[in-house]
Amino acid sequence: MKLVIASGKGGTGKTTVAANLAVTLAEMNEPVQLLDCDVEEPNVHLFLPPLGTTDQTVRSPIPRIDPVRCTLCGVCVQICAYNALATAGDHVLFFPEMCHGCGGCAHLCPEGSIAEVERSIGTVLRGQVHGLELVWGRLNVGLSLAPAVIAEVKRMAQPKATVIVDAPPGTSCAAVAAISDCDLCLLVTEPTPFGLHDLKRAAEMTRELNVPAAVVINRSGIGDKRVHAWCQENSLPILLEIPFSRQLAACYARGKLWVDEFPEWKDTLRRLWGQVEEYAHERTARH
């Protein structure tokens, strides 16, 4: 089972749910991997600092143009969908921060004047903590290649492990990369008009990706009931409501896990996992 925890915006408690659920499952003797795919701002390792971390560099190709062979035909500039190339006078200019490493320019250059060279775009780190394996990615500053680093983080998923993916917030390419190919997506939201607005966008994204979704409402008790009504109208089951609590907020602010400070949360998260499995099986059987 590969469960992704996502949200239409940051600050909903998505990472807290992912970390606490993963630790609870690891205590049930499941082999668990927690993949932090928020590669622009990874933070799960701050709650769960692992021991004995290993890391590996993520690389992506970029073009190197031979100015002697280049005839300035402009083909590479025209085909680059990311505006990473431009002609200026007697040069082709290259903007490395825009390049997505697709290789199209090298493939289509009629003069064969573009070679591909590798560059580092980020790092994937792994370590053991709380009986689970934590894997997280870190994108190099200034690059727009989060999906490539996320793909490398997800490549570490073991087929026999229960895999919890912490997705980046929002509905960007990075969120799409994290949610794609998962068995189920838990959308964490708040019962407020803003929460509903972002939940609608996130739910639409999961529909487009054909990943079944369910909802966790955090800070339940604030706001109104419009999220509940919308979920009912759109057949999105609400699997958990987390009441607004100063104690839980203070626990988060101290960088602690709820399940360490309030062990009764383990029962709640075990029940959530049971519902997740049941819903995933039901969806598989129905389709």
The residues binding ligand SF4 (CB under 6 A) are: 63, 65, 70-76, 79-80, 82, 84-85, 92, 99-105, 109, 111, 113-114
Residue 46 vs 72, nearer CB to ligand SF4: 72
CB of 151 to ligand SF4, least distance (A): 16
Q: Taking Cα atoms as reference points, which of 31, 283, 274 lies closest to residue 182?
A: 283
CB of 116 to ligand SF4, least distance (A): 8
CB of 91 to ligand SF4, least distance (A): 10
Residue 86 vs 209, nearer CB to ligand SF4: 86
Residue 5 vs 76, nearer CB to ligand SF4: 76
CB of 88 to ligand SF4, least distance (A): 11
Residue 79 vs 151, nearer CB to ligand SF4: 79
Q: What pairs with residue 138 in β-bridges? A: 123
Residue 146 vs 269, nearer CB to ligand SF4: 146
Distance in angstroms (rounded) separating the CA atoms of residues 224 and 214: 19
CB of 89 to ligand SF4, least distance (A): 12
